[in-house]
Amino acid sequence: MRGEGVPRDPRGPRCHPEPARIAEFMEYPLAMIKALEHKPRHRHKGPSGASVSRHDTLPVVRALLLVFLPFSLATAADAGSDYFETKIRPLLAAQCAGCHSSKLASPMAGLRLDDPASLRAMVTPRNANASRLIQAVRYETKGMPPAGRLPQAEVDALVRWVEMGAPVPEANAAAPRSAAAKAKAAKEHWAWQPLTPGAGSIDDQIAARLGMEGLSMSAAADHRTLIRRLSYDLVGLPPKPGDDRMTVPQAVENYLASPHFGERWARYWMDVARYADTGFLGRAFLIPFRYRDWLIDAINRDLPYDRFVAFQLAADQMPDAAKADHAALGFLSLGANPNRPEDLPDVADDRIDVVTRGLLGLTVTCARCHDHKYDPIPTRDYYALYGIFANTRYAQPVHISPLPPFYEKRAELRRQIRRAYILERLEELRAEFREPKEARRYLEALWKGRHLSGSALESLAREKNLNTLVVQRWAARLAQRADWREARESPVEMYLAKLTAPPDDDWRSLLRGPSAPPEVPEEDFASIQTEGDANTTRDLQWQFEEVLNDATYRGATGVIAGAHDRATIKPAHVFVRGNQNDLGEPVGRCFPTVLAKEKCFTPSGTGRLDLARAIALPENPIAARVAVNRVWQHLFGEGLVRTPSDFGVRGDLPTHPELLDALAAEFMQDGWSTKRLIRRIVLSRAYQQASGDRAEARAKDPENKLLWHMNRRRLDFEALRDGMLAVAGRLDPKIGGQPVSIDTMPADPRRTLYTIVEREKPLPLLKTFDVADPEQHSPQRYQTTVPQQGLFLLNSPFVGEMARALALRSASVDELYRHAFGRKPSPVEANRAMAFWERAGAVAAVTGGAWRYGTAAFDPSTGQVDGFTPFRYFTGRSWQNASAGVDPETGVARLTATGGAPGDDLRAVAARRWIAPADAILEIKGRLVHNVGALQLRFKLSNGIRGWVVSSRQGKLGRWRIEAPPPPKDHLSYQANPGVDTNLTAIEVKAGERLDFIVDSIDDYEADGFSWAPVLKAADGRTWDARQDFDGPPFPRLNGREQLAQVLLLSNEFAFLD
Amino acid sequence: MISRREWWRRIGAGMGQMGLVGVMQQALGANPLAPRRPPLSAKVKRVIHIFCNGGPSHVDTFDPKPALTKYAGQPLPTHLRTERRTGAAMPSPFAFKRFGKSGLEISEVFSKVGAHADDLCVIRSMHTEVPNHEPSLMMMNCGATQQSRPSFGSWVVYGLGSENQNLPGFIALCPGGLPIRGARNWKSAFLPGAYQGTHIDTRETELDKLVANVQNRLTAREDQERQLALLAAMNKEYAEQRAEDQALEARVQSFELAFRMQLEAENVFDLSKEPASIREPYGDTLHGRQLLMARRLLEKGVRVVQVWHGAGQPWDTHDDIAKRVRNLAGESDQPIAALLTDLKQRGMFDDTLVLWGGEFGRTPVVELPAFGSNNGTAGRDHNSYGFSVWLAGGGVKGGTVHGATDEFGFRAEVDRVHVHDLHATMLHLLGFDHERFTFRYAGRDFRLTDVHGQVVRNVLA
C-alpha cells in the first residue's frame, strides 16, 4: 500500500522513507491510545467523512495498528529498494564511485558499481560470506576501499542488504519508484487541474455544502462583535471609539482604506517570506526594513498580486520598476545567507523553498536529494530552479541616491582595505603553492589520480589535503603536456628537477605567469582562502554594509538591497543525492514540470523574470488558489485547504474545492486585487456568522470544516500587544521605518510588526507567543498556551506600563470598560470592580539617584557642555535613544553600567551626568579604556578617543587622550589595552553642581566603544559608583485601579475574537 | 494560526483518519509540555549535556597518544587537511593515568572525573563534518550543519513533555552570555515554541535575570492573588456564554501555572536551600554553582539541561594548551565529579543520561601562528576527523572505551561514531527509535538524525 494508491493516506511513507515502518509519528499515538482505553468518548462520522471512529472500535483499531502497521506499507521488494536507496546507493557513491563508476572512462577492474548488472555480479544474494563485494570490504580478498576499511556500520549495512537478497531497483535506478502513479497524480490531483469554479456566491456554496449534512449557518454576530472582528482582521487593532456607529459595509471600506491595513497584512506576508533584520552570525542585513515598508505600501495601494509577486522575484529586471521597487527583492535576499562558497546550495535551497511553498504550495525542496516521493516533482525540477537562484546574487546594494560624503568616505575606506587585504594574501598563497615542496605534493597526487576527473579528483584533493582549485588547475595544465600525458613511469621527479633548475621559459610558465597553476586569479580568492582570511574579508564586507545601514538609519536614503543575475550564468547540474561534488546531468532553468510542460527560460539570464511571470498566470491557477487560501485562512482562522503551503498529494484536500476555485477565478478576473477579495469575503454571511456554539452542529462537524459558525480566534502576539498599546492610548501610528525593540523601558509604542527580528538572537518573548520562526517560510503559526505567556502578562514592565496608562486615562470603571472592551460593564462587573477601583492609592514620588544618562552638545575646543537631553530607552543593559539600532538624531550614542559609545556628532555626545546632592569634596577614580576590535586595530580604522570631566560651575576638570595603539602583530594584544587612569582629587562641588563624564571620538567616528565607570567618593565617606548605581527607570507598584486595568488586559474577552 | 485541533492532528498525524485526535486532545489537555511516555522502553528519562564549547582537545583529556611524544617536533607521517596552517606533532603536556577497576586512561587534568572512570563510557572515535565552530555546533546540537533544525533538547521535550509544569522543559545554562550561534543552539526551529530551550545566564544572581518576568514587581503577592481571582471570575462568565471551547480554559490554566512558576523558580534557583554537605563538593565557583543548579533542575523534573562552559567558545584553545586546558578542565573537573556523586546519592544516576563533550576535537599537531587565529604558542587547531565524548548514567556501559582514533589522534579509525550515531544512541536510551521519531513539516517527516544514524550498541549496558 503506497501513498499514491490512496492519495491522502496519512500513514504513507515519508519523504525519506524507511522500509516497513509506520511512517508517521513513531509509535507514540499507540501509547496514547493505550492510556485512553479507559476513557472512551463518542465520535461520530463527520460530514467530511474523514473522522470516523466510535469508542467501541478503539480496541480493535489498536489491535489492527499493532498487528498490521509495521508490515502493511510496503512489499518486501519495496523495502529492499528503499534500503538500497537510503543505505547502499549513497554508500557505494561515497566510497566506491571514485574508481568503480560508469562515469569513468576506464573504471578500475572494469567494475561499475552504479550499474545494476555489474553490481549483481559481485554478490551472491542471501549469502554474504560468498559475495565478492563483502569479501573485499572485509579485507578478506581485495582490501577495498584501498584507502582504509569501511566503518563497521557500513560493512554491516552491505551485509544486511546482501542477506535481504541484494535487491537493486530495476532499470533506471534513479527513476521515481512509481512514475506511473505520479504521472497519474499530475493528471488528476485537484490542485494542478484547471479551475472548476462553483456557481453562486460564497454564501450559496457554504450553505449548500452545510445543507448536504443537514446543517445551516449560524445567525449573524451582533454589531459590536462584527466591528471588533473586522477591525482586528483588517487593520490588526481594536476598533476606535465610535467605530461601531458605522454600518458593516462602511466599516469594511474604512478599514480597507486605512494605512494600518497594510501593516496587518504585510506582517502576514512576512511570515511567508521568513522576514528577519539580521542573518548569519548576527550580520545586519542591508536595510531589510525597506522590504517590509515596500510590502506595507504595495498592500495598501492594492498592487495586483501577480505584480506583487513579480516585483519580489525580479524587480531588477522589470522595465517599469522604479529603483525603490528593488526593495521588493528582499523576498529573495533575507534568507540565512551563510557566506562560504560551499554554502551556496543551502542559500539557493532557502530561496527555492520560499518561492515554491510560499507562492505555489509545492514542496519542491523535498526533491533536493531524490525525486519527490509523492508529488510529481523530479530532482531535475529542483535543479532547474537551482539554476535560477544559484545564479542570482543577493543583497547587492542598489544606490538610489549618492551617499553623503561622511558615509561615502567610510564605505570607500572599507572597500579599499578589503581589496588590499585580498591582494596581499593572494600573493602569499600563490607563493606557497609555488614552493617546490608544495609542487611535489600536487604533482604526486595528480600522477596517482591521472585517470580521475570531476568529483573523483576532488575527493583525492580532499584526501591529500590539497586545494581543489589548484589541483584542477594543475590537472588542466598537465593534460596539455605530452611529457606528462604520455609518460609511462612517473615523471614527477623529472618535473621537479626542471622546475627548480635555472629558468627555462617552458618550465618557468608552470610556476609563474597567468596560466601557471599556482597563479590563482583574484576572482577565485574565495576558493583558496584560509579560515582567517574568510573571517577577515567577511568582517570587512559586513562593516562596509554597516556603514550603508548607518547612513540609512540617519536619514540618508541612499541604498536598498537588491539582487541581480551573475555576469556569467553557470549551468546547473543535478547534484546526485544532493551532493554538490557529485554532478549529474545538466539541466536548464525551467518551471516545475507538474505545473507547465517544457517551460524553460532565457539562455541569457537566470530567467527570474520569466519565472515570476510564469507563476501567476490564469492558465496556471495554483498561485491564485494558494493566495486566495492564505487570505481565507487569515479571515477564518483556517484555510479552505488546511495545509496552506502544501497543495500536493499529501496536503489536505480543500473543504470546499469549488468555492476555492470560484474565489481564485474571481481573484484573477478582478485583476488580482487582494482588497476586492477580502471585501467579498468579509461581506459574506459566512464571515459574519456568530461564533457561538450549537451542540447539534458541533456533533456533526466538530472541527467546523463546513463553517456552521465563525471560529473563535485568539489574537496573535502582534494584535495582542498592539491592542494593549491602543486601549492604553499609547500606540504610535507612524508607518514604516527602522526596526524597534519591544523589550525596553519605557515601551517603544510602535506597532509590534516593527520589532527587530534577529535570526540568531531571537527575542525569547516572540517564541513564547508563537511568532513565526524567521529561519524558514512559515505557513501557519502555532498556537500554544504556556505559562511563560502568563508570566509576561502578569509581571512584565510592558503590561504594567499599559495597565498604568489605561487606568490613568479612565475616569471611572465605566470608562475603563469602554476603553478595554468597547462596552459598559454589567452591574455585577461594575460592583466587583469597585473593590479595586477604590484602592487608587497615592502614587509614590520616585526620584532617580544622583546619576542621569543622556546626550549633550559638547565643544572640545572650549570644553563647554550645552543642554542635556535624557536618553529615551533603557534596554536592560544600556540607556539610548533608539529602542533598537541607530537613532536618527544621536546615532549610536549610548551608556551602559561600565561604558558606552560616544556617538558621532558633537551636538549629541553621550554624557554620564552626576548631580551633587550636597556640597562635598570629592575624590574621583576611574579608568578609561578604548575598546577596539582586532580588525579596527589591524587596519587602523580609529584614531583613538578622549575622555573629559566637565563641571557646570568650574568648567573642564580633566581631559585624557587615548591614542590608537600601533597595529598588533596578533589579535590577542588588543585585549591588553590598558587605558588610562582618570583620577582627580580634592574636587570641591556645591549642591546642585553637575559633573559630566564625556567621551568624544576625535572626529573620526569610528568604532570607538569605551569602558569608563568612575567612582566618586566624598570626604565624609559617601560614595557614588557609576557601575553599581546604574539602573533603569523607576518602577512603582500598581495601585488598585491599575491592577484592575491589568486584569481587563489579561482577560479572555480581550484576548479572543468572537 | 494553528488550532489545538490542528496541533494534535500533527502530533498524532497517523491517527487523524481514525478520528482519535480529539480524544487525545481531551486526555492531554492543551498543554504541549504534558509528560508523555516514550514509545519504547527507556533507560533514562532526563539528560544533562555538559558542553565544552570551542572544541576540547581529546589528546589532552580522554584520548592518550604516546606516539606523539615519539614524533614530537616532527611532521607526522600522515597529515590531514586542517582549517588553519598546522605544523609538527605536539605531544600532550599532561600525564595520563589509569583510573578505577577498568583502568580507563584519563588525563591528569580530569583526575577527579577520573575517580568515576568505572561509570564512564568514553567514545574516542567521534567525528563530524566541518572543522568550523558554527556548523559543528549546529551538528552537535541540531543534527545538521547549516539548515535550521530543532535542537536535541527540543526534540526530547517534544517527545516526552516535561515532568514539571512550573519550569521550562529544556534549559540551557550558559554563564556570561551566549555561545557562538547563540540561541540557535537550543532552538525549536519548526517545532512549536514551547519546545525551545530557555537560556539562563548563570553568572546572574538576581532571579529576575535568570528567568524572564518570573518575579512579580508590579504588585504585592496578595494583590496578585486578588487579581487572579477577579480574572478567574471574569473568564468564567465569559466562558459560560461560550460553551465547549478548550482554548479559553487552557488560557485560564496558563495563568495559574505562571503563578506557580513564580514560586517554583524562586525555590529551585536558590542554592542556599542545599545543605553545605552537598554544596561543598561542587565548590562555590561559577561551575560548581551551575552544575548544582543543573542537578536541582533535573531533580525538579526538567527534561533536558545543557550546561555550557561559558559564553563564546572557552575551549577553543588555539594557544597555550598547557595552561589553558589545565585551567578549563580545572574549572569543571571537581564540579563534574561532584555532580556524578550527587546523582548517585540521590538515586538519579540510573535514569539520567550524562553527556560530556564539545562540537569537535583538536589537532595532534601544533597550529602555526597567523593573524586573526592565534599567537603561535603551542596550541591546536580544530579537528572534525576525530574527537572524544563520554557518556554516563542509565543504560550506559561504564568503564569502557568505544572506538579509537589513529595512532596520533588525528582521525577516528576504529568503530567510527558520527554525531548522528550519538544522537541515535541517546534517543534510543530515552526510548525512541530515531528513525520513527518524526515531525511533519513542509511536506516531509523530519528526524533529528535526518537520513543517517545508527545506534551504537556497544556503549549500551
**pTM metric for this prediction:** 0.79
Beta pairing partners, B447? B438
Pairing of strands A864-870, B86-89: unpaired
Please give the pLDDT value at position B208.
76
Question: Rounded CA gap, A351 and A918, in Å?
Answer: 64
8 Å CB contact between B20 and A29: yes
Distance of residue B391 Cα from the nearest chain A Cα, in angstroms: 20
- Are B436 and A536 an interchain contact pair (Cβ–Cβ within 8 Å)? no
Please give the pLDDT value at position A37.
31
Pairing of strands A878-880, A944-951: unpaired
Question: Rounded CA gap, A330 and B286, in Å?
Answer: 44
Tell me the one-letter amino acid at B412: A
Q: Which of B142, B57, B131, B117 is nearest to B422 (CA)?
A: B142
Tell me: the pLDDT tens digits for A731-741? 999 999 989 99
DSSP state of A727: H
Question: Rounded CA gap, A508 and A1033, in Å?
Answer: 73
DSSP state of B460: B
DSSP state of A86: I
- Are B223 and A148 an interchain contact pair (Cβ–Cβ within 8 Å)? no
In DSSP notation, B31-75 reads: -TT-----SS--S-SEEEEEE-TT---GGGTT---THHHHTBTS-
> Mutating which of A6, A18, A28 best tests the B interface, going by the most B Cβ atoms within 10 A?
A28
The x, y and z cell numbers of residue A967, run together, are: 597595529
- Are A18 and B194 an interchain contact pair (Cβ–Cβ within 8 Å)? no
For residue A917, cis peptide bond before it (omega within 30 degrees of 0): no
Q: Which segments in chain A show pLDDT lower than 50?
A: 1-77, 170-177, 970-974
Q: Which of A953, A954, A945, A951 is nearest to A1012 (CA)?
A: A945
8 Å CB contact between B162 and B302: yes
- Are A52 and B19 an interchain contact pair (Cβ–Cβ within 8 Å)? yes
Question: Rounded CA gap, A330 and A961, in Å?
Answer: 44
Which residue intervals of B71-172 are DSSP H helices? 111-114, 133-142, 152-160
Beta pairing partners, B441? B444
8 Å CB contact between B339 and B291: yes
For residue A125, cis peptide bond before it (omega within 30 degrees of 0): no
The x, y and z cell numbers of residue A460, run together, are: 583525492
Q: Which residues of A touch B227 (CB under 8 A)?
A: 794, 1043, 1046-1047, 1050
The angle that helices B321-345 and B286-299 make with each other, rounded to 10 degrees, is 30
Distance of residue B113 Cα from the nearest chain A Cα, in angstroms: 30
Residue A18 neighbours by CB distance under 10 Å: 23
- Are B251 and A1055 an interchain contact pair (Cβ–Cβ within 8 Å)? yes
Tell me: the pLDDT tens digits for A868-879? 999 999 999 999
8 Å CB contact between B397 and B3: no
Q: Which residues of A touch B168 (CB under 8 A)?
A: 788
8 Å CB contact between B115 and B337: yes
Please give the pLDDT value at position A335.
86
Give the list of residues 6+ apart from residue A320 with CB closer than 8 angstroms, or none.
Answer: none
Nearest residue, CB atoms, B14 vs list A25, A365, A702: A25
- Are B84 and A637 an interchain contact pair (Cβ–Cβ within 8 Å)? no
Tell me the one-letter amino acid at A936: Q
Distance of residue B84 Cα from the nearest chain A Cα, in angstroms: 6
Distance of residue B111 Cα from the nearest chain A Cα, in angstroms: 31
Question: Rounded CA gap, A195 and A191, in Å?
Answer: 9
Q: Which residues of B touch A349 (CB under 8 A)?
A: 147
Q: Which segments in chain B show pLDDT lower than 70?
A: 1-30, 244, 370-376
Look up cell 482604506; give the residue.
A257
Distance of residue A891 Cα from the nearest chain B Cα, in angstroms: 25
8 Å CB contact between A404 and A551: yes
Q: Which residues of B touch A50 (CB under 8 A)?
A: 16-17, 19
Using alpha carbons only, what angle is made at residue B286 by residues B282 and B287, rounded to the nearest 5 degrees?
A: 50
Question: Rounded CA gap, B92 and B325, in Å?
Answer: 10
In DSSP notation, A610-635 reads: HHHHHHSBTTBTHHHHHHHHHHHHHH
Per-residue 3-state assignment (H helix, E strand, C coil) for A991-1052: CCCEEEEEEECCCCCCCCEEECCCEEEECCCCEEEHHHHCCCCCCCCCCHHHHHHHHHHHCH
Nearest residue, CB atoms, B258 vs list A645, A794, A803: A794
The x, y and z cell numbers of residue A831, run together, are: 460592583
Question: Rounded CA gap, A600 and A586, in Å?
Answer: 14
Question: Rounded CA gap, B395 and A706, in Å?
Answer: 51
Phi, psi torsion values for B372, nearest 5 degrees: 85, -5
- Are A1056 and B247 an interchain contact pair (Cβ–Cβ within 8 Å)? yes
A771 Rama class: left (phi>0) / alpha (psi -120 to 50) / beta: beta
Distance of residue A548 Cα from the nearest chain B Cα, in angstroms: 24
Question: Rounded CA gap, B211 and B224, in Å?
Answer: 19
8 Å CB contact between A923 and A985: yes
Q: Which residues of B touch A836 (CB under 8 A)?
A: 226, 230
Minimal Cα distance from B432: which residue of A?
A: A26
8 Å CB contact between A492 and A444: yes
Beta pairing partners, B438? B447
Count chain A–chain B contacts defined by CB atoms under 8 A: 376
| C-alpha pair distances (Å), A142 with each of A132, A133, A135, A193 | 9, 9, 7, 56
> Mutating which of A794, A834, A1030 best tests the B interface, going by the most B Cβ atoms within 10 A?
A794
Distance of residue B190 Cα from the nearest chain A Cα, in angstroms: 7
The x, y and z cell numbers of residue A1029, run together, are: 548605581
Minimal Cα distance from B453: which residue of A?
A: A153
Specify burial of residue A682 (Cβ count, 10 A radius: 0-12, 13-18, 19+): buried
Pairing of strands B46-51, B352-357: parallel
Nearest residue, CB atoms, B81 vs list A152, A462, A780: A462
Look up cell 592518550; give the residue.
B64
SS3 B220: coil
In DSSP notation, A536-581 reads: HHHHHHHHHHHHHHHHHHTT---EEEEEEE-SSPPPEEEEGGG-TT
Tell me the one-letter amino acid at A854: G
8 Å CB contact between B40 and B431: yes
Q: Which residues of A touch B166 (CB under 8 A)?
A: 787
**b/e for B414-445, b at 16 or more Cβ within 10 A?**
ebbbbbbbbbbbbbbbbbbbbbbbbbbbbbbb
- Are A532 and B84 an interchain contact pair (Cβ–Cβ within 8 Å)? yes
Task: Give the domain ranges of chain A.
Answer: 28-72, 76-163, 202-397+571-700, 421-532, 713-843+1040-1057, 851-1029
Pairing of strands A1009-1011, A927-931: antiparallel
- Are A651 and B192 an interchain contact pair (Cβ–Cβ within 8 Å)? no
Distance of residue B227 Cα from the nearest chain A Cα, in angstroms: 6
Please give the pLDDT value at position A967.
66
Beta pairing partners, A852? A913
8 Å CB contact between B199 and B212: no
8 Å CB contact between B152 and B423: yes
8 Å CB contact between A837 and A1040: yes
Which residue intervals of A222-273 are DSSP H helices? 223-235, 248-257, 259-272
Q: Which of A700, A704, A696, A750 is nearest to A725 (CA)?
A: A750
- Are B373 and A971 an interchain contact pair (Cβ–Cβ within 8 Å)? yes
Q: Which of A316, A310, A312, A273 is nearest to A605 (CA)?
A: A316
8 Å CB contact between A286 and A552: no
DSSP state of A675: H
Question: Rounded CA gap, A469 and A479, in Å?
Answer: 15
Question: Rounded CA gap, A829 and A844, in Å?
Answer: 29
